[in-house]
């Protein structure tokens, strides 16, 4: 399974991820993205149906703020650095 979250420290609110993967990413009042799957905790497996959207969003992010891992992030974007 894949897990994902956004690093809000590096997101520049460009808005690409929600367009590529609207079922995964949404934005807060300031346009900073987060994963709607689990309030950006990175603990809910991304469903198989959303895998391509996730890859598109990750590749399209200009600041590499979308993190993907094979294990849960437990809310920490830097967990697997």
Residues forming the site for ligand F3S (CB under 6 A):
6, 11-17, 33, 60-63, 65-66
Of residues 66, 56, 51, the one with CA closest to residue 20: 56
Q: Which is nearer to ligand F3S, 64 or 74 (CB)?
A: 64
Q: Which is nearer to ligand F3S, 17 or 54 (CB)?
A: 17
Q: Which is nearer to ligand F3S, 9 or 74 (CB)?
A: 9
- Two tokens, residue 75: 């809310």
Q: How far is the CB of 81 from ligand F3S (least distance, A)?
A: 17
Of residues 15, 45, 57, the one with CA closest to residue 33: 15
């Amino acid at each position: 399974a894949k897990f994902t979250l956004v690093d809000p420290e590096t997101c520049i609110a460009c808005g690409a991820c929600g367009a590529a993967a609207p079922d995964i990413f949404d934005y807060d009042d300031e346009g900073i993205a987060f994963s709607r799957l689990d309030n950006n905790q990175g603990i809910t497996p991304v469903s198989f149906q959303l895998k391509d959207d996730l890859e598109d969003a990750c590749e399209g992010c200009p600041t590499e703020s979308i993190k993907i891992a094979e294990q849960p992030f437990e809310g920490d974007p830097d967990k697997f650095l």
